[in-house]
């Protein structure tokens, strides 16, 4: 009986991930970017099925149990708790994927946990938005990134089993993990601003201000698939020089899990990302300085500029990560997305978009 005791905590550690599986399946069904995630989920189950008999083979425990090792379980548990409290499914799923791995390490030791690394990596690839997040950081197609990582994981399996008795030291694995996290954090720092600014919520519903004239689009059915019963407003504007721009404004957000960084949606729509950065717009008159997340993208030889930011009556930010962390259903958040074709220069298009925001802030 004692030999099989570890199975119970291992099964319990799967609960956080299992609870969010319906969300994962819905993402596979509705999002083109996630439709092949089931392949990685099946792959993770297959790789775990290969590893677990070898882990359980010699009974419980294989090494002297040290309570201090249980500290490693705290990290995924804290990530799960953070995701639950802030209603961030990605955090719950990441913590839920890491939890079984940490339990195996806690009970059996590093050699046995090492055997689960391919399954753990494959499970991460099955989580919605992971591929898109890596794509925005690395600039590759999300599916290409995930397939490449999956091939490397499968190719490494013979090596993992060959080195079962002489696995790399835990300190080496920790160092490599920290190095990867630091590299990803460095790449992410160029995409996201953590600053909060004064509220920036132009009243585009006025339709006419200064040199800009607009119309409100009645048909927003295409956006209902993403935002459901949220308050969706879509405007088209032109200035005196004939420059066209579009505004998507989403408030009273009903399902925050359907709101993604703009770059995700742009990539799915077939655009090639030319650049992505946070742009600081200086104050003019009574209008405050603020940031927007700018994506320059290209499709069919035509370049477009997209500006994204998020605002409440009290604060605004260009950072999706910060918006997502601070979001609450009663927080009165509104997501703004502006886009315009680049007919002249990038700078002139930026100036036009900035002037439009200022015009409707009056």
pLDDT in the model for residue 64? 57
pLDDT in the model for residue 61? 55
Domain boundary, last residue among 160, 189, 218: 189
Residues 148 and 268 in one domain: no
Residues 185 and 84 in one domain: yes
Q: Token pair for residue 86?
A: 């802030």
Asked if the structure places residue 138 within a domain, the reply is: yes
Question: Prior bond to 61 cis, omega within 30?
Answer: yes
Residues 172 and 282 in one domain: no
Asked if the structure places residue 195 within a domain, the reply is: no
By CB atoms closer than 10 A (0-12, 13-18, 19+), residue 33 is: buried
Which residue pairs, CB below 8 angstroms and at least 24 apart, start in 346-354?
Answer: 346/296, 346/303, 346/305, 349/243, 349/305, 350/279, 350/294, 350/305, 352/239, 352/243, 352/245, 353/245, 353/305, 353/307, 354/281
Contact 214, 203 (CB under 8 A): no
Asked if the structure places residue 194 within a domain, the reply is: no
Residues 57 and 142 in one domain: yes
Residues 345 and 235 in one domain: yes
Asked if the structure places residue 238 within a domain, the reply is: yes
CA distance 102 to 72: 6
Q: Which mean pLDDT values do the consecutive 10-residue runs of the chain (362 residues) have?
A: 60 92 88 87 92 71 62 89 89 93 84 86 92 77 89 82 63 75 72 74 92 91 80 93 93 82 79 87 84 92 94 90 81 92 91 93 82
Q: How far is CA 181 from the centre of its chain?
A: 15
Residues 245 and 112 in one domain: no
The packing angle between helices 37-56 and 142-162, to 10°, is 10
CA distance 152 to 144: 12
How many residues appear in the chain?
362
Give the total number of structural domains in the chain: 2
pLDDT in the model for residue 4? 47
CA distances to 76, 97, 112, 117 from 109, rounded to whole Å, are 17, 18, 6, 13
Return left, alpha or beta for 241; rule: phi > 0 is left, psi -120 to 50 is alpha, else beta: alpha
Provide the β-strand partners of residue 307.
294, 338
By CB atoms closer than 10 A (0-12, 13-18, 19+), residue 121 is: buried
Asked if the structure places residue 300 within a domain, the reply is: yes
Residues 96 and 226 in one domain: no
pLDDT in the model for residue 261? 81
Which 8-state DSSP code applies to residue 240? T
pLDDT in the model for residue 271? 84
Asked if the structure places residue 268 within a domain, the reply is: yes
Domain boundary, last residue among 146, 161, 189: 189
In degrees and rounded to multiples of 5, residue 317 shows phi and psi of -155, 150
Asked if the structure places residue 13 within a domain, the reply is: yes
Domain boundary, last residue among 189, 213, 246: 189
Residues 9 and 153 in one domain: yes
Asked if the structure places residue 109 within a domain, the reply is: yes
pLDDT in the model for residue 3? 47
pLDDT in the model for residue 1? 39
Q: Domain containing 314: what range? A: 204-361
Residues 176 and 262 in one domain: no
Helix (H, G, I), strand (E, B) or coil at 231: strand
Residues 160 and 214 in one domain: no
Return left, alpha or beta for 210; rule: phi > 0 is left, psi -120 to 50 is alpha, else beta: left
CA distance 31 to 129: 10
Residues 179 and 267 in one domain: no
Residues 138 and 185 in one domain: yes
């Amino acid at each position: 009986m004692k030999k099989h005791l570890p199975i119970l905590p291992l099964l319990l550690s799967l609960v956080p991930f299992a609870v969010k599986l319906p969300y994962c399946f819905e993402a596979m069904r509705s999002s083109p970017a996630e439709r092949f995630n089931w392949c990685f989920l099946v792959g993770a189950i297959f790789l775990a099925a290969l590893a677990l008999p070898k882990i359980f083979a010699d009974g419980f425990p294989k090494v002297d149990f040290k309570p201090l090792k249980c500290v490693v379980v705290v990290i995924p548990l804290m990530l799960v708790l953070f995701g639950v409290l802030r209603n961030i499914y990605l955090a719950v799923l990441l913590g839920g994927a890491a939890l079984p791995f940490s339990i195996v390490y806690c009970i059996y030791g590093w050699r046995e946990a090492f055997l689960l690394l391919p399954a753990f990596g494959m499970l991460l690839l099955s989580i919605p938005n992971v591929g898109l997040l890596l794509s925005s950081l690395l600039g590759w197609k999300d599916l290409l990134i995930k397939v490449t990582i999956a091939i490397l994981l499968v190719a490494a399996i013979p090596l993992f089993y060959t080195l079962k008795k002489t696995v790399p030291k835990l300190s080496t694995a920790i160092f490599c993990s920290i190095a990867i996290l630091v590299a990803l954090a460095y790449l992410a720092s160029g995409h996201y601003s953590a600053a909060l600014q004064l509220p920036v919520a132009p009243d585009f519903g006025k339709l006419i201000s200064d040199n800009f004239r607009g119309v409100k689009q009645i048909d927003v059915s295409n956006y209902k698939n993403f935002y459901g019963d949220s308050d969706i407003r879509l405007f088209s504007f032109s200035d005196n020089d004939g420059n066209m721009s579009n505004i998507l404004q989403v408030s009273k957000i009903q399902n925050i899990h359907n709101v993604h960084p703009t770059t995700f949606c742009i990539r799915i729509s077939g655009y090639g990302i030319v650049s992505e950065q946070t742009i600081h717009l200086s104050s003019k008159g009574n209008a405050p300085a603020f940031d927007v997340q700018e994506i320059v993208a290209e499709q069919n030889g035509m370049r477009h500029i997209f500006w994204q930011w998020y605002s409440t009556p009290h604060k605004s930010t260009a950072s999706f990560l910060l918006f997502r962390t601070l979001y609450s259903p009663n927080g009165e958040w509104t997501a703004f997305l502006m886009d315009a074709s680049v007919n002249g220069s990038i700078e002139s298009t930026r100036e036009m978009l900035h002037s439009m925001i200022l015009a409707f802030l009056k």
